Amino acid sequence: MDSLADLESRAGREAPAFGARAHILCDNLVRIFKPEGATGVEVVALQGLDLLIGEGELVAIVGASGSGKSTLLNVLSGLDVPTAGLARVAGVDLLSMTPRDRLRFRRFVVGFIWQQTARNLLPYLTARENVALPMRLAGGTARRERRARAGELLELIGVADCADRRPGELSGGQQQRVAVAVALANSPQVILADEPTGELDSETSDTVFGALRHANRELGVTTVIVTHDPLVSEQVDRTIGIRDGRTSSETVRRTSSDGGVIAEEYAVLDRAGRLQLPREFTSALSMEHRVRLELERDHIGVWPDTRGDESND
């Protein structure tokens, strides 16, 4: 017969870990920037951020400037190492990578697109050569093979006509679409884009989002786009809001039975039970410092603290 210890250890084993099946997982992620000199203050850019993204999902991340979006993407792309917590992308633990693992991860597992168009492409190479370059660095493919695949990717992204032009001969939108093809060159499992349309007008932005969405649908690559553009949320499965270095809200879009699109907004409840109330809600009811909670049959009520400072008496 099983001893109690056996049963306990089995129960522990069988309970799936948090986000065990997620393609991208952040658990209590912290990134603190320490000042260089003796003066200056530490910045806690990520303050215990939780995030789960499934394989093949297309997700937008929105949030005010300084809320930690780029810090998060830099961690997920293997460029930056978090201070504490857990971060895993496509099964790779980002905190325990050796420099060699990191290079491999950045070359084969993730593709990255920056906001600055000039940062994505080499100016003296044509679009096709830019897309072929990551394959060349990875090795193992012949020049003809690389050129053919680069052509296919440019075609998939809708910029086949730009193949033989250099970045200087392309519009900003075309450059960013070529950058999507570059990011896809080594068949990554995840694409990360940090405000890829930040320098573009809204019409041109649409074509770049269209390209990312197309790549997501056609290739099944998990895609995370940081953006300021409120219209983007209409083009993705899920929009995740970040506030002060934590995920704070989610908008999930789904198609209703009559074919219309329904957007439902949620607050994120983290594993410690914390939840951020929208500032508009708390200020409308002058809620600050503490609130009164009541458990009802099917919901939790949150009331302003009307007892004022009584507790201080």
Where do contacts with Mg ion occur on this chain (CB under 5 A)? 69-70
> Which of Mg ion, ligand ADP, none does 108 bind, CB closer than 5 to 8 A by kind?
none
Strands 261-267 and 291-295: unpaired
Query: Is 246 a binder of ligand ADP (CB under 6 A)?
Result: no
Element (H, E) at 209: helix 202-219
DSSP 79-134: SS--SEEEEEETTEETTS--HHHHHHIIIIIEEEE-SSHHHHS-TTS-HHHHHHHH
| 159/225 with CB nearer Mg ion | 225
| 69/246 with CB nearer Mg ion | 69
| 34/307 with CB nearer ligand ADP | 34
Residue 84 corresponds to which tokens in the numbers above? 């504490």
CB 185 within 8 A of CB 140: no
Pairwise CA distance, residues 192 & 226, whole Å: 8
Query: Is 70 a binder of ligand ADP (CB under 6 A)?
Result: yes
Listed residue (195, 202, 201, 162) closest to 178, CA to CA: 162
Among 32, 33, 138, 147, binds ligand ADP (CB under 6 A): 33
Smallest distance from Mg ion to CB 85, Å: 20
Query: Is 71 a binder of ligand ADP (CB under 6 A)?
Result: yes
Listed residue (251, 247, 225, 227) closest to 237, CA to CA: 251
* Number of chain positions touching ligand ADP (CB under 6 A): 11
Q: Is 303 helix (H, G, I), strand (E, B) or coil?
A: strand
Query: Is 69 a binder of ligand ADP (CB under 6 A)?
Result: yes
Largest CA distance in the chain: 81
Residue 192 corresponds to which tokens in the numbers above? 């990360």
What distance lies between CA 296 and its chain's CA centroid?
35
| 82/134 with CB nearer ligand ADP | 82
| 49/163 with CB nearer ligand ADP | 49
| 53/61 with CB nearer Mg ion | 61
Smallest distance from ligand ADP to CB 168, Å: 28
| 70/175 with CB nearer Mg ion | 70
> Which of Mg ion, ligand ADP, none does 251 bind, CB closer than 5 to 8 A by kind?
none
The 38-67 contact track toward ligand ADP, x by CB under 6 A, reads -----x-x-----------------x-xxx
Smallest distance from Mg ion to CB 81, Å: 18
Pairwise CA distance, residues 146 & 107, whole Å: 15
Smallest distance from Mg ion to CB 194, Å: 6
Binding site for ligand ADP (CB under 6 A): 33, 43, 45, 63, 65-71
